[in-house]
Amino acid sequence: MRIGELSRRTGVSVPTIKYYVREGLLPAGQLTSPNQASYDETHTRRLRLIRALIDVGGLSVAGVREVIEAVDDPAQPVHMMLGSVAEQVVPQYEGEDGSEQGEQLTAARKTVAELIARRGWRSYPEAPAAEALAVALAALENAGHGAFAAAVLDDYATAAERVGQVDVEFVARNVVREELVESVVVGTVLGDAVFAALRRLAHIDASGRVFGLGE
Amino acid sequence: MRIGELSRRTGVSVPTIKYYVREGLLPAGQLTSPNQASYDETHTRRLRLIRALIDVGGLSVAGVREVIEAVDDPAQPVHMMLGSVAEQVVPQYEGEDGSEQGEQLTAARKTVAELIARRGWRSYPEAPAAEALAVALAALENAGHGAFAAAVLDDYATAAERVGQVDVEFVARNVVREELVESVVVGTVLGDAVFAALRRLAHIDASGRVFGLGE
């Protein structure tokens, strides 16, 4: 297909498509004449992935390039490829700047390492998700709610194990590497939003039971 | 105590404390001389709540005022008070603008209503969390991943029920209304960050088991 058709099918404008080609994110089309290139399903699929990474995952072009290099490297095992994708979509808790959290952060990192050991989770020391968890725990401690973290952490971990297992089983249905990666990014980011909303609905339900509905 | 001491204890600057008093968020101190006012533990506690609402909850001053009115109204049952707090800390999925999501959003709202009925959750039709869930589901559908939502929704809901129950049991240990509200805001917002990080750690673990660790 021509570039105009590719643009219509994917909803990505022609200048943006050309920009992705220049940036090396999208392979150039096959030249059919000096001024005309032809695109196929591999381009459609790649564009879907790029848009998911940028629009849903919030990745920069540099982040997209890193993910695509991992996707395009057939020597990279799936687990490692997904790891490099996951590192790009770490949840960021945007709180106060952490200048006063030095001590709490050190303690929180220890809590996280103990949790990972206690649950028997395969992880690796510099996993950004482990650091993100430590930052959130330090923020709780800093806000005077360290007891909350201590009380709920293992129940949260049990729930996260269930959700994480379901997520990975679902994305594993994909066989094409690009579709697998796209599904991981979309599922990770939008899955957060889905779970956060469900948790609030569960709060309304539990609050009614615990405190009574009032009149 | 004097305003300088209140500032030191809470970490809130004197001008900010005066601003909160002018805005009606914090009761004025008791005048001990024409130019001097005295503050007590009720001010400390109220300032902690205001800072939690603004720094952690991301509320506007208008939002803080609404929460504080609910806290200060003894006729308002706890469940209703918490409901008005919860409406201020709804998760927002910041995706593409939803202009094309009209049809998907209508379908997603139906999915949410059916889910709430199926789970037997006490909710109310205009709950912002229900709308937030519908928006996230519509975004998944729009990204071509509606199958993900359909496959995982009930497992997510089961996990959210567990987390929500633990959350509410924990915050219910507070008896002072202000502390209860503070704990709900901090626990809701930072709880999202904690769970999102745990979910990613669970992904690393599950991915290693499902795909193999590679070499």
Distance from CA of A32 to the nearest CA of B (A): 31
Q: Which residues in chain B touch residue A163, judged by CB atoms under 8 angstroms apart?
A: 152, 155-156, 159, 199, 202
Q: By the 8 A CB rule, do B197 and A189 touch?
A: no
Question: Do B214 and A78 lie within an 8 Å CB cutoff?
Answer: yes
Cβ–Cβ contact A160 with B under 8 A: yes
B84-114 pLDDT tens trace: 888 888 776 655 554 556 788 999 999 999 9
Does A14 map to a domain? Answer: no
| Residue A16 is assigned to a structural domain of this protein | no
* B113 Cβ under 8 Å from any chain A Cβ: no
The residue of chain A nearest to residue B50, with distances taken between CA atoms, is: A143
Q: pLDDT tens-digit profile of B2-11? A: 999 999 998 8
Contacts of residue B214 in chain A, CB cutoff 8 Å?
Answer: 76-80
Contact flag A140-B52 (C-beta cutoff 8 Å): no
The chain B residue lying nearest A206, using CA atoms, is B165
Least confident of A36-40, A103-107, A116-120, A158-162: A103-107
Domain count, chain B: 1
DSSP track, chain A: --HHHHHHHHT--HHHHHHHHHTTSSPPPEEEETTEEE--HHHHHHHHHHHIIIIIT---HHHHHHHHHHHH-TTS-HHHHHHHHHTTS------S-GGGGHHHHHHHHHHHHHHHHHHT----TT-HHHHHHHHHHHHHHHTT-HHHHHHHHHHHHHHHHHHHHHHHHHHTT--SHHHHHHHHHHHHHHHHHHHHHHHHHHHHHHHHHHH----
Judge whether B147 lies within some domain: yes
Residue among B129, B186, B196 whose CB faces A200 most closely: B129
Q: Is residue B83 part of a domain?
A: yes
Of B145, B204, B206, the CB nearest to A186: B145
DSSP-derived letter for residue B96 is: S
Q: Is residue A188 part of a domain?
A: yes
pLDDT score for B16? 95
Does residue A37 belong to any structural domain of this protein? no
Chain A contact set for B203 (CB, 8 A): 82, 86, 129, 164, 167-168, 188
- For the cut 60, the answer to whether the pLDDT of residue B162 exceeds it is yes
Task: Look at residue B152 and tell me if it is in a domain.
Answer: yes
pLDDT at position A79 is: 86
User: So what's the pLDDT on residue B93?
Assistant: 63
B205: domain range? 62-211
* Minimal Cβ distance to B155: which of A123, A163, A187: A163
> Does the residue B22 lie in any domain?
no
B214:A77 CB<8 A: yes
**Interface contact flag, B86 A203, Cβ < 8 Å:** yes
Note whether A213 contacts B: Cβ–Cβ < 8 A: yes
- The C-alpha atoms of residue B68 and residue B53 are separated, in whole angstroms, by 10
Q: For residue A117, what pLDDT band results from cuts at 50, 70 and 90?
A: very high
Average of pLDDT values for A11-18? 94
Q: Quick one: pLDDT at residue B215?
A: 44
Q: What is the ipTM of this complex?
A: 0.86
* Nearest-by-CA chain A residue for B153: A194
Residue B80 has pLDDT above 90, yes or no: no
Q: Can you give the pLDDT at residue B92?
A: 65
CB B39 within 8 A of CB B12: no
Sign of CA dihedral A169, A170, A173, A178: negative
User: In this complex, which of A82, A136, A164 lies closest to B199 when CB atoms are compared?
Assistant: A164
